[in-house]
Amino acid sequence: MDIEFTVQENRLWMLQCRTGKRTGKGAVKIAVDMVNEGLIDRRSAIKMVEPRHLDQLLHPQFESPSSYGDKVIATGLPASPGAAVGQIVFTADDAEAWHAQGKSVILYSP
């Protein structure tokens, strides 16, 4: 659960509660762990994993940088659940030109 609360005059006030968001990988892990712990059966676990979670798992993803010994040089918010590799370009014209030359490109748009 994602819970927002405040304390006012020594009283706890619940402001908002909603189902917590999780990634596809997280949803599957939680469902499998709950089955392994005997909390739910397999049928219930399958119902917990939404189609969008499975869609996320089908996109290419990078392995953890620590598995290569590399240092993380930047972090950001994903625009999609997958991974991409290519030269960053800043205009659609450059992206088309570089793609025509057989190069992999990523169009960056601030």
Domain locations in the chain as residue ranges: 1-58, 79-109
What Cα–Cα distance (Å) separates residue 102 from each residue in 38, 84, 99?
52, 16, 5
- pLDDT for position 107: 86
Task: State pLDDT tens for residues 17-76.
Answer: 988 788 888 999 999 999 999 999 999 999 999 998 988 888 877 666 666 566 766 777
- The CA distance from 34 to 64, in Å, is 25
pLDDT the model gives residue 19: 81
Give the range among 1-5, 35-39, 81-85, 103-107 with minimum mean pLDDT. Answer: 81-85
Res 70: pLDDT? 65
Q: Please, which residues have CB within 8 angstroms of residue 44's CB and are 6 or more apart in sequence? A: none
